[in-house]
Amino acid sequence: MGIGTANPTEALTVSTKARFGTYYNFDYDQNANNLGWYWNAYFDESAVNYKYISTGAWGGTAARLVGTGSGLRYDQASGGIDPISWNNRLFIDSSGNLGISTTTPAYKLAVVGTGYFSNQLTLGANLNLGANSISMSGGNIGNVGKLTVTSIDPLYEIGGEKYATYVSDTIGYKVESFGKGKLVKSEIRNPKSETNSNVQNPKQTGLEFSASNLEFAEPLYSYIIDFSKVERGSNLWLFWQTISEGQNMEDVSVVLTPEGDEASLWYVLNPASRQIIIRGDKDVVFSYHLVAPRHDAASWPNVSDSQYEGTVLPEK
């Protein structure tokens, strides 16, 4: 029988919409043996129950859009036109929040499960992980203005056991460089002619005093760190490029330690030539530790305006 058509293809073929009670229901089956696709629409005029449009393969995967009073959801299920159990995949609530595998998104995007981004993820504000952690799977974190953390722990696995190697705290934003050198015989005989000097003696740890107050037996020995001649890309070159040394290099600190023998060591800053001249009374091998404020240290004061609580300590 055909309604609205003179060429019915089924026992009942309706070529226009049909009304059943308070709702409209339409079904389309591609072929009579239920092996094709169907299309189903359900519109509830009473606005009491949900409304949906569903499509899928008979006996296969079905999908539907369901409109409710709280939002719009997308469901999937298997088993044909009216599966026993629908599984929610997407939900958009009335405020515009989007939920993936959740019908109660509390944020603009709420995901229950894992996520994957094949390209860059751009954040316009803070990333708040709560009490959870973030794993980069060996990847890098780049282009970060400031990283506020409680501790930094480069992790090593040695012989099947993991070991923590914590990064020490530094007060003030500093740049450091370490190295070794060997003093060689110098043409300078009288240290009293040098100014802006500091002497470091293993017998007087922590003391600094002017070389003009000292008398040394000749000859003297020296080693020069010349920042204008160091190899581009080397540790010393990068140290000089990234520090704020002060007008006369007064913000550069140098710690000297003789190796294998007692010796008196001191250094002279030569800002005009970008040099640190290291002097001593013996031809010893020594190690040096250079420290200076980073080029933008003034932008990172000790008093922080961070919104994070951090570690709370009682004042001593």
pLDDT digits (tens, 9 = 90+) for 85-123: 678 889 999 899 999 988 899 999 999 988 888 888 787
Give the mean model confidence (pLDDT) for residues 150-168.
91
Per-residue pLDDT of 165-222, as tens digits, reads 998 888 999 999 999 999 999 765 555 455 555 545 444 333 333 444 445 545 689 9
What's the confidence (pLDDT) of residue 187? 66
User: What kind and span of H or E run contains 239?
Assistant: helix 235-242
Give the end-to-end CA distance of the chain in Å, rounded to a whole number.
Answer: 94
Tell me the per-residue pLDDT of 20-41, one tens digit each, with 9 for 90 and over.
554 444 554 444 444 344 445 5
Q: What's the Rg (C-alpha) of the chain? A: 38
The Cα-based distances of 228 to 205, 290, 306 in angstroms read 31, 16, 39
Cβ contacts of residue 241 below 8 Å, gap of 6+? none
Q: Which residue has the higher pLDDT, 223 or 148?
A: 223
Strand partners for 197: 268
